[in-house]
Structure 1
């Protein structure tokens, strides 16, 4: 699988963004993965074409080499030819689309991993259905234009890391030929150490967490402001809702209304004091996919969440029977008030959520390590139809993307 000069444990990670674990759930997931590879004695290089974010973590302190790369530029080929990586991890299918053909051209023996983060096509198809006022359906998902791009990327990759059991089941049901390429790897998060258990009586008020670059979060904040919070505030006139998140846009910052108990705080470098003292986290997410980091973080700090079926998907089953799940604004507000004022129901909800979140808070990197080690056997077990689809998509897509990328590069250089 590797050339004679290839380090058998050298990893190139091509990031969609530089990791920002203090600002985004995706950053938390990526940092957890990177630490797992380091513990397995991989030499790790993290490459990214995006500009540095405001909350970028210093990977160099972990012993990871950071490299800025360019899209549609042959300098990336020369970079690959120098290093001979044994493994390449793509952060979301968008990076595989952009750089995958170059990786295959220059590192034909490398094992290709794709961390889907969440199924982008699932999230987008749900958003489109909501915007149109209709119900989401599986047929709407598989007919969405993004579906074909995402699934094609997964076929081209050797192993695909799936963060949600619900998404794993969807893929297995709809695309059974992907079975041998799928690895269920829960969220992965370093649980807080020695978090004090603060009682119901010593907590007060509400909180929302979510970065402003993620559309489901912006929609949820707008729903809180216009529909949900007025209903809660009517029942609890002294209560306060605080909105925390990095990169909140102006339209969200302008929603700040202290007189209404609606406080937009923005990014906070340390959320532990907030989460330790708040009584309930509100997460009225109407669309999305993957696993919601805000729900896991709240559970880790002993803070229950009032959420939606989409929000708890992949974490809790039988949503309709849960006291802390509601999908309409009216029911959401009613259940939130009940949880906020009922210590017995609050404790029951917290215990259920803590138990369910444990799968993600305490997941093991060994799951991925074993899948990587057994990849040669998995590859041999691929059905003939899967091999055919993989080769077809690699040849068609790589030929098209190769031509397009080189055309863009030539065009850009011609301007200079």
Structure 2
């Protein structure tokens, strides 16, 4: 007698049946009831051998669907096709499809490259993929993803105002497709067809004071700053050393040799690729007498700890990345006028315009700008150290000369 939904639902496992109980529905279909659940099976013969085909688990697969799957298998048998082999081929095709999906290839590429990338870049690369590309094209195989489809996804990113992210995603998607071509998952890269399709990025330079008179006003305002002494010192050294804001705020006392007037920033703390962080030279910053004086003044305050500019909340971390910018706002400088990073632009501009005897190559080396080409690394070698010392002293003296020409700051002081 054929099975019914009511009968199947009421079935319970028989503890006395060690291998479970079987209930036939006809034409080879039966329900195998075990302690672990209820399983649809089909018994059939092919090539003179008795075989069993798994059709799913109840209640995920109901009676009607189990019967349809049985009938499909019987049609295959009638065509002299083994339904068991068909199922294996389908399972393999599904596995291959999942392995060749955009997400699978992207994650494989990420796993290969992440050891050569910085941790922050590797994390950002995958985070952007998970947020914006995987939900839309992650399950698709690479050959089925067209340029118009990919553009429609990137347009969604543009619409929320993230133009730069859209351009970044276009580049990272291109990396995935190129890797797909290399590994035989696809034959072409549709990203190439998106050249010029996205809204352009309007590059906005970091706000900075670039005129000597305004630089003089800023420097005097810093000297008269009434906030935290460490914040004042960070402002002063930002101007004197013109290093990246992250290297200023995370500066450690063990990097500083006051006797020989040298700040040595370890390679791993510099803005470099992971390979260059591991294998590169440290970055040397000669200290002019004015910089040494600033450090000696705050040494009694923070010299007992790790950081020159520790967080006010805990000495276990450096000051916040917003501290210098916040101080500039308190002094009356808006974000469109001056930022912590603007001290680098200020130095680079005024050095070129007001101290032309200083070699541009020495300035670029002191800014830690990596030059391309075979001579790129040469600018950070020891034979340039005397030129760097001259540069840093000349720059500090020039800043003093600017302040000497200012009678009264025009900004509010904190």
TM-score (norm 2): 0.28
Higher relative contact order (CA 8 A, sep 6+): 1
Higher Cα radius of gyration? 2
TM-score (norm 1): 0.28
